Amino acid sequence: MSKRKGSVLIIDDDEAIQESIEFLLRSEGLSTDTAGTGEEGVRQVEENHYDLVMLDLMLPGKSGMDVLKDLQRVDPTLPVVIITAIGALETAVSAIKQGSFDYIAKPWNNEKLLVIVTNAIKQRQLTSENQQLRRALKERFGYSNIIGKSEKILRVLDLVTQIAPSRSTVLIQGESGTGKELIAKAIHLKSPRADKAFVPVNSGSMPVDLLESTLFGHLRGAFTSAISAKKGLFEVADQGTIFFDEIGTVSPETQAKLLRVIQEREFMKLGGVENIKVDVRIIAATNVDLKSLVDDGRFREDLYYRLNVINIQLPPLRERKEDIPQLVEFFTRKYCDENAKPLCRFSSEALKVLMDYHWPGNVRELENVVERGVVLSQDEIIGRDLLPEAVTTPSLRFATLSSFSLSKESSLFDILDTFERRVIIEMLEQAGWSQTEAADSFRIPLSTLNQKIKRHGIEIKKKRERPPVPVK
């Protein structure tokens, strides 16, 4: 389930049902409490932390629906699963419309009950983590965490300050590793939505059907594995911000639905018939030229213009090298702290190497290099010898066309295919067979590189281990 199993409060006046649910949940490692009346249950929620409440609708005294309202007043994010009889399903559906997580009908199927409980607790813990993340973001991801004093980065921060109070959509463009999500978080935290959810979506890492279910949610039975209803990320982000990374990889079908959400501020769950209204600010990011995708017919022109209301261009690190010393100092402190090591620093020779390198992976690559140096260092000075070979000797001996023995039968496509295959293999070898590092160096999405590796039939070798820590 999660790092911790979770705690459940069962509000039901039938002791047999209490004992039955308690036995089932405790056998799964969950902790449980019980209450025989709604008033007692609300009091326990006021005094203790629970990840889930299971609430019978037929209670003595205050009705289950009234208890549901009281629980939502005490803890708006606490999921409530309704326990109901088969004959009272209409009331259970009403409870779901009023915000309960789901319902289970008596007599229940144990496996089904456990699935609903697991999903509810996961949602509770994700909500809790999101709240903690927002607090951490306020501390860590304000402008103080966007390092740099170059004119280009200061212009970006000025633009962020200007646009943050609005609700306009924003398109952030820049190479992989330039900090697009960091800028999106800064916009969110400087906006009136700062206390609401910031929801990142990696559009390129999900299949079409899963992405749509994740974004818009689904009703029970919407597809074969939809055994319970699920909120989509747009609902989770209501009143807040949703951030789409790699927006250029979204399928045409999903593009059409995103356009509707932007235009109408509403969407429909998979399997649903009712429109759900949301107030969500959309920030999108891409490391490819979306306009060229539009020209090629691979991205909707109307969606492009809807997203591109405000455009932020993030400069690559090689165009703001004056920020490298400040970034190195920041990351050095960070990783010395994380690894409980005395504060160290890079030697002047090592820093010159970092300044001279072209940084195809941008700030993310620099951060990795600094972390590696901190971890491997045995004293307070990090020298050139602790830098990766790719940084100290960055020139790749790529295959050249002159090395091909061309025949009259070779078409241009054959030649380019062979050339591309050899270049990819050489980059993978340079990156120690790390596909992620190679994709960063090529400045293309990892999914694109993996497709090319599969198409060319390249066999991925075991990643090279990092060099051992030198023994003094």
- Please report the beta strands in 279-419, taking only residues with DSSP state E, as ranges in sequence order: 281-286, 310-313, 345-346, 381-382
Q: What CATH number should be reported for the domain holding residue 83? A: 3.40.50.2300
- My answer on whether 324 and 305 are in the same domain is no
- My answer on whether 271 and 346 are in the same domain is no
In this predicted structure, what is the pLDDT of residue 365?
A: 92
471 found inside a domain: no
All residue ranges of the chain with pLDDT < 70 are 1-4, 86-88, 129-145, 204-209, 221-227, 394-410, 462-472
DSSP 8-state secondary structure symbol assigned to residue 230: B
- My answer on whether 288 and 332 are in the same domain is no
464 found inside a domain: no
In this predicted structure, what is the pLDDT of residue 223?
A: 66
- My answer on whether 151 and 284 are in the same domain is yes
- My answer on whether 268 and 338 are in the same domain is no
Spatial distance between the Cα atoms of 216 and 199, rounded to a whole number of angstroms? 13
- My answer on whether 268 and 380 are in the same domain is no
Region class of 176: left (phi > 0), else alpha (psi between -120 and 50), else beta = beta
Spatial distance between the Cα atoms of 255 and 238, rounded to a whole number of angstroms? 20
In this predicted structure, what is the pLDDT of residue 408?
A: 53
Q: Count up the domains in the chain and report the number.
A: 4
- My answer on whether 176 and 265 are in the same domain is yes
- My answer on whether 186 and 281 are in the same domain is yes
In this predicted structure, what is the pLDDT of residue 441?
A: 80
- My answer on whether 261 and 377 are in the same domain is no
466 found inside a domain: no
Nearest to 372 by CA among 383, 356, 360: 383
- My answer on whether 357 and 309 are in the same domain is no
| Structural domain of 75 | 7-123
247 found inside a domain: yes
Spatial distance between the Cα atoms of 128 and 98, rounded to a whole number of angstroms? 21
In this predicted structure, what is the pLDDT of residue 398?
A: 46
In this predicted structure, what is the pLDDT of residue 313?
A: 94
Spatial distance between the Cα atoms of 258 and 148, rounded to a whole number of angstroms? 34
As given in the structure block, the two tokens for residue 146 are 């966007």
Task: Look at residues 295, 313, 331 and tell me which one is the last residue of a structural domain.
Answer: 313
Region class of 55: left (phi > 0), else alpha (psi between -120 and 50), else beta = beta
CB count within 10 Å of CB 93 equals 14
Q: Which helix (H) or strand (E) holds 94?
A: helix 89-97
- My answer on whether 163 and 227 are in the same domain is yes
- Which is it for the CA torsion 270, 131, 258, 255, positive or negative? negative
Q: 464 near 432, Cβ under 8 Å?
A: yes
Q: What CATH number should be reported for the domain holding residue 178? A: 3.40.50.300
Residues ≥6 apart with Cβ < 8 Å to 121: 1, 2, 5, 6, 8, 30, 51, 52, 79
- My answer on whether 285 and 216 are in the same domain is yes
